[in-house]
């Protein structure tokens, strides 16, 4: 592995992590509500807990910010690999940045390493990289949500499906074998991270106590 490739990988990982560590749920709750969303509800700094705790505007702003930072991390990762590792391909830099953006969101250095669960950050990365896959996942989520009204279940289902759709997408795009393997591994890592961060939700789903959208806040 060349020093140039190592440098490109480190830069893409670092910028992804820094972008991810800007956790909009925490910033919005502190700046506008003089509070910390992590002390409420599920303890997460994601859109769902923001929506439940502070209402629709705060939840929507958090969602937009999280999606945007995932997309920005991907674009910068692509640019870094285009400049420093053109033989490997910009998509590889983009997926590496996406992974570390999710890590930054989940374990933000600026906020005591406690953030959100990474779903919308990954969604922003997918939107930037694979808009057709993003659309397919969105349709699946909306169907699941209409039936169950459980956001976490939809997130887990999407994470499980995502690597399969990703491989199909890049096969359709004509990617070479190395790129397919690289991207496939990255997509599996992203999926496993999201599922792992939902482990407490999985326990509540199994117990039948998981929150359904529209229920009162005091039920956990």
Query: What are the Cα distances from residue 17, in Å, to 20, 43, 188, 194?
Result: 5, 21, 18, 16
Residues 99-145: tens digit of each pLDDT = 999 999 999 999 999 999 999 999 999 999 999 999 999 999 999 99
pLDDT value, residue 37: 96
- Tell me the pLDDT of the chain (220 aa) as tens digits: 588 888 999 999 999 999 999 999 999 999 999 999 999 988 999 998 999 999 999 999 999 999 999 999 999 999 999 999 888 788 899 999 999 999 999 999 999 999 999 999 999 999 999 999 999 999 999 999 999 999 999 999 999 999 999 999 999 999 889 889 999 999 999 999 999 999 999 999 999 989 888 776 544 3
Whole-model pTM: value is 0.89
Segment (H or E) for 210: none
For the record, the structure tokens of 18 come out as 């820094």
Spatial CA neighbour of 76 closest among 2, 128, 1: 128
Residues 23-33: tens digit of each pLDDT = 999 999 999 99
pLDDT value, residue 81: 94
55 DSSP 8-state letter? -
Q: How far is CA 158 from the centre of its chain?
A: 11
For the record, the structure tokens of 180 come out as 């397919």
Query: What are the Cα distances from residue 144, in Å, to 65, 102, 132, 138?
Result: 24, 23, 19, 10
């Amino acid at each position: 592995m060349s020093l140039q490739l190592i440098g490109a990988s480190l830069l893409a990982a670092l910028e992804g992590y820094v972008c991810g560590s800007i956790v909009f749920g925490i910033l919005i709750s502190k700046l506008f509500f003089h509070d910390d969303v992590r002390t409420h509800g599920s303890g997460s700094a994601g859109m769902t807990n923001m929506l439940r705790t502070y209402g629709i505007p705060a939840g929507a702003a958090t969602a937009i910010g999280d999606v945007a930072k995932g997309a920005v991390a991907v674009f910068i990762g692509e640019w870094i690999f285009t400049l420093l590792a053109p033989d490997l391909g910009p998509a590889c830099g983009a997926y590496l940045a996406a992974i570390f953006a999710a890590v930054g969101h989940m374990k933000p250095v600026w906020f005591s390493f406690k953030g959100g669960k990474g779903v919308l950050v990954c969604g922003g990365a997918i939107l930037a990289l694979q808009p057709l896959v993003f659309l397919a996942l969105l349709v699946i989520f909306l169907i699941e949500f209409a039936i169950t009204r459980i956001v976490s279940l939809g997130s887990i289902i999407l994470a499980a499906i995502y690597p399969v759709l990703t491989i199909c997408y890049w096969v359709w795009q004509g990617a070479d074998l190395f790129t397919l393997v690289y991207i496939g591994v990255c997509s599996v890592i992203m999926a496993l991270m999201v599922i792992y961060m939902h482990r407490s939700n999985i326990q509540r789903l199994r117990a039948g106590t998981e929150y359904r959208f529209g229920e009162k806040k005091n039920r956990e």
